[in-house]
Amino acid sequence: MQQSTPIKDEPGPHPASWSPTASGIAVVAFIALLILAWTAASTLLLIFAGILLGVFLDGLTRLLGQAIGLGRGLRLTIVSLILGGLTLGFLAFGGATVVQQGRELGQTVTKQAGSVRDRLKEYGIDLPAFSVPSETPGDQDADKAKDTDKTKDTETDKDKKAGGLGGLASGAIKSPGSLLSDAGSMLGPAATVITGLFNALGNVLVIVFLGLACAADPASYRDGAVRFVPPRYRPRATALLDGMGETLRHWLFGQLITMAVIFVCIWAGLSFLGIGGALILGLQAGLLAFIPTIGPLIAGVVIVLAGLASGTNAALGAFGVYLVVQCLESYGLTPFIQKQALDIPPATIFAGQLVLGVLFGLWGIALALPLMAVIKVVLEQVYIEDTLDEDASV
């Protein structure tokens, strides 16, 4: 009987012929990897945030290397000191202003949101009530009592979701027989606050440490990861990791430029209109620009609600400033800066945000775009180019 020989030049994927044992092991390993990623999602995303910081520091170190011919370690030290000085300077000279305007903005937005809700209720549109923070001691005691009752029911769920050092601190406080457990029982609700502060500060320290470590010697981490790949695939794995780093670096620098332009334009525009809290409104709009689609929408709602406190004309003017800045970002900055770094359709980005947000919560929404950038590089190089034998740039 004549056997047909496969056509090697036939386009399309060419699956490898694995034995049933190898296929079963591969399926089990893949399922185990998915379970691990699901249970440790917050910690893995925290590590990814540290890698993003490392990519940013590495990019600045390379730019500095084009200007001065110093060693990499010295250049990284200079970059770190400059960034640390700028951060401390902002906290020292602008931190008090930001905190004051942030407090006033929160009260203004809450009040105006309640007014909008009452106005919509007159037209038969009933929205959930907005809670206004109380300032009287009696109300504060009642709120503390309610928070104490709610803490008993929610602490366990929060501890399960906490990642990084906050998870360790929460586990230590809840661990029976430990010193922190006794301290937690005496502190009561304050233990939750301490755990939250430790979680936030600990996560920042983890991100900074990982960023500095990765930026200090990125080649060693790349080569270490490539060592786990079979020798014949190591050149492709090296090119894949380099492509991920280059894509993230270009996207990150472009995104930071876009965020800075949005911050300055909205700050200047709202200050020109005389709207209170222009600095904090511009700052929150610039920071929320890191989250595509959803972030600018939230920033626009906050700006309009803050403008309502100064009257309808001020709200319309604030909305006009926001609209002009968003048109500048959508039709000017993003196509010009991000076209070569990350060319993903807006609907795909929004769908990816929804999926990652449902799976991983706020971390998934905040890091959706860089995660999709990494996934895009993997699909282009591993699947389209290597498996389908097609040009990914077409």
- pLDDT digit string (tens) for 91-116? 777 666 666 767 777 777 777 777 77
Higher-pLDDT residue of 341, 352: 352
Distance of alpha carbon 368 from alpha carbon 354, whole angstroms: 9
129 pLDDT tier (thresholds 50, 70, 90): low
Higher pLDDT, 254 or 4: 254
Which tokens is 161 given?
Answer: 């979701």
Within 8 A by CB and 6+ apart from 284, the residues are: 299, 302
Contact between 89 and 278 (Cβ < 8 Å): no
Q: Is the pLDDT of residue 299 over 60?
A: yes
What count of residues does the chain have?
394
Q: Give the C-alpha separation, 374 to 363, whole Å.
A: 16
Q: Is the pLDDT of residue 373 over 50?
A: yes
Two tokens, residue 54:
């490392």
Give the 3-state secondary structure of residue 264.
helix
Average pLDDT estimate for 65-80? 88
Hey, what are 228's tokens?
Answer: 């786990």
Sign of CA dihedral 381, 385, 388, 392: positive
| 306: Cα separation from own chain's centroid | 25
Residue where the block lists tokens 């010193």: 179
Mean pLDDT of 358-377: 84
Per the prediction, the chain carries an average pLDDT of 76
3-state DSSP call for residue 180?
Answer: helix
CA distance 203 to 83: 18
End-to-end alpha carbon distance in the chain: 43
Amino acid occupying residue 190: A
User: Average pLDDT in the 283-287 region?
Assistant: 88
> What does the angle CA 67 – CA 207 – CA 213 come to, to the nearest 5 degrees?
55
Mean pLDDT of 134-149: 47
Give the count of beta carbons closer than 10 Å to the beta carbon of residue 118.
10
More confident residue, 230 or 110: 230
What are the Cα distances from residue 51, in Å, to 161, 205, 206, 207, 367? 21, 13, 11, 8, 12
What tokens appear for 310 in the block? 């100064």
Kindly state the average pLDDT of the residues 257-281.
88
Residue 2: pLDDT over 80? no
Q: Which residue would you say has higher pLDDT here, 150 or 237?
A: 237
Phi, psi of 59 (to 5 degrees): -65, -45
Contact 194, 38 (CB under 8 A): no
Structure confidence at residue 251 as a pLDDT band (50, 70, 90) = confident
- The model's confidence at residue 40, banded by pLDDT at 50, 70 and 90, is confident
> CB neighbours of 334 closer than 8 A, spacing ≥ 6?
258
Of all helices (H) and strands (E), which one includes residue 240? helix 234-273
Within 8 A by CB and 6+ apart from 27, the residues are none
> Confidence class of residue 18 from pLDDT cuts 50, 70 and 90?
low
Angle between helices 95-122 and 72-93 (to 10 degrees): 60
For residue 231, give the DSSP letter.
G
Tell whether the model's pLDDT for residue 133 goes beyond 50: no
Judged against a pLDDT cut of 80, whether residue 22 lies above it is answered with: no
How many Cβ atoms are within 10 Å of 377's Cβ, its own excluded?
Answer: 21
User: Domain ranges in the chain?
Assistant: 237-394
Both tokens of residue 19? Answer: 């034995």
Higher per-residue pLDDT: 202 or 155: 202
Q: Among the listed ranges 7-21, 41-55, 223-237, 276-290, which one has the minimum average pLDDT value?
A: 7-21
Query: Among residues of the chain, what percentage have pLDDT more than 90?
Result: 11
Q: What distance in Å separates the CA atoms of residue 47 and residue 164, rounded to the nearest whole number?
A: 9
**Which residue type sits at 311?**
G
Q: Which of 308, 312, 334, 318 is nearest to 285 (CA)?
A: 318
pTM over 0.85: no
**pLDDT at residue 221 is higher than 70:** yes
Tell me how far apart the alpha carbons of residues 322 and 281 are, in angstroms, rounded to a whole number. Answer: 11
SS3 content of the chain, % helix, strand, coil (to 5): 80, 0, 20
